[in-house]
C-alpha cells in the first residue's frame, strides 16, 4: 500500500475499456483523454463519489466506495481534491473557502487557523484577493484558491481534475509545483494524480508518468 497510494483494479470505463493502474507514492501521474472516454470520472471513483460499473479503486489501501457514509467522509479528509471547475462555494470568500476544511475537519482554534491561512494564501499567491468572493476574481485566482483548499489538511495524496484548463503555462507549472509540495529523497512530497483532457507539453517534464486514455486503452506518453 505504501508504494501505491492509489490503485485502479479492472475499473470499467466507457467504450468497454478496463483500467488497471497503480499510482506510485511520491510521484505525479496524469491521465488525459477525450471527454467521452470516462477519464473525468476517475477522481470521483477514487473518492467514492461515484461507483464504477465494475472493478474497484483503492485509496491509501482502502476502498472508499464500500465504506459507511460517515467513515467515507472522514476518510476523504486524508485526500486532497480539486474538482473540475474548482467547486468553490460562491457565498464564501476565497479565505473562508480555504479555511473550511480546517474549520470543519480539525479542532484548531480560529487563531491557529488564521496563522495557517496566512501561510497558505501567501503560498498560493492570492493574498491580495483572499477576502473576495469567487465571482469577483479571475479563473487563475479561483484555481489557486481551490488548490489551497485541497492542500489545507496537508494530504499525502492529491487528486486534481482538469486543474490546468484555461491557465497560462507558467501558472499551470506553478500550481503543479505547489501540488507536489516540494521534493524529498523519494520524489515529490505528495502523490499527485491528475486527470483531464489536455496537459501542457512543458508540464510533462515534471510529471513522472503521463498516460493517454484512447480507444485502445491506456498508453504511456513519457
Binding site for other proteins (CB under 8 A): 44, 47, 49, 69-70, 73-77, 81, 83-91, 100-101, 103-107, 149
Tell me the residue ranges of DSSP E strands in the chain: 6-12, 18-23, 28-33, 56-59, 79-82, 157-161, 183-184, 187-188, 191-196, 209-214, 217-220
Question: Closest distance between other proteins and the C-beta of residue 46, in Å?
Answer: 10
Q: Which is nearer to other proteins, 14 or 18 (CB)?
A: 14
Question: Closest distance between other proteins and the C-beta of residue 102, in Å?
Answer: 9
Closest to 170 (Cα-Cα) out of 204, 203, 212: 203
Rounded Cα gap, residues 132 and 135, in angstroms: 8
Question: Closest distance between other proteins and the C-beta of residue 145, in Å?
Answer: 12
Q: Which is nearer to other proteins, 74 or 170 (CB)?
A: 74
Question: Closest distance between other proteins and the C-beta of residue 125, in Å?
Answer: 21
Q: Which is nearer to other proteins, 1 or 89 (CB)?
A: 89
Question: Closest distance between other proteins and the C-beta of residue 215, in Å?
Answer: 25
Q: At what angle do helices 110-123 and 139-151 cross, to 10 degrees?
A: 130
Rounded Cα gap, residues 44 and 117, in angstroms: 27
Q: Which is nearer to other proteins, 164 or 218 (CB)?
A: 164
Question: Closest distance between other proteins and the C-beta of residue 103, in Å?
Answer: 5
Ramachandran quadrant class, 17 (left: phi over 0; alpha: psi -120 to 50; beta: rest): beta
Contact 203, 164 (CB under 8 A): yes
Residues 6+ apart with CB under 8 A from 162: 40, 84, 85, 195, 196, 197
Cα separations (Å) of 139 from 64, 87, 122, 167, 218? 31, 12, 18, 8, 30
Question: Closest distance between other proteins and the C-beta of residue 107, in Å?
Answer: 6
Amino acid at each position: 500500500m505504501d508504494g501505491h497510494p492509489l490503485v485502479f483494479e479492472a475499473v470499467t470505463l466507457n467504450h468497454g475499456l478496463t483500467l488497471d493502474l497503480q499510482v506510485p507514492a511520491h510521484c505525479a501521474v496524469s491521465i488525459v483523454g477525450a471527454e467521452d472516454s470516462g477519464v473525468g470520472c476517475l477522481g470521483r471513483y477514487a473518492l467514492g463519489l461515484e461507483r464504477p460499473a465494475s472493478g474497484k479503486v483503492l485509496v491509501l489501501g482502502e476502498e472508499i466506495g464500500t465504506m459507511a457514509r460517515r467513515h467515507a467522509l472522514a476518510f476523504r479528509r486524508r485526500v486532497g481534491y480539486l474538482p473540475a471547475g474548482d467547486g468553490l462555494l460562491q457565498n464564501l470568500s476565497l479565505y473562508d473557502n480555504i479555511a473550511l476544511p480546517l474549520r470543519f475537519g480539525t479542532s484548531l482554534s480560529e487563531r491557529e487557523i488564521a496563522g495557517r491561512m496566512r501561510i497558505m494564501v501567501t503560498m498560493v499567491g492570492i493574498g491580495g484577493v483572499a477576502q473576495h468572493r469567487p465571482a469577483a476574481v479571475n479563473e487563475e485566482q479561483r484555481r489557486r484558491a481551490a488548490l489551497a483548499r485541497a492542500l489545507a489538511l496537508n494530504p499525502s495524496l492529491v487528486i486534481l481534475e482538469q486543474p490546468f484548463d484555461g491557465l497560462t503555462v507558467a501558472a499551470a507549472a506553478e500550481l503543479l509545483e505547489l501540488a507536489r509540495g516540494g521534493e524529498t529523497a523519494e520524489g515529490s512530497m505528495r502523490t499527485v494524480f491528475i486527470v483531464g483532457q489536455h496537459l501542457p507539453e512543458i508540464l510533462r517534464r515534471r510529471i513522472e508518468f503521463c498516460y493517454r486514455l484512447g480507444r485502445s486503452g491506456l498508453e504511456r506518453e513519457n
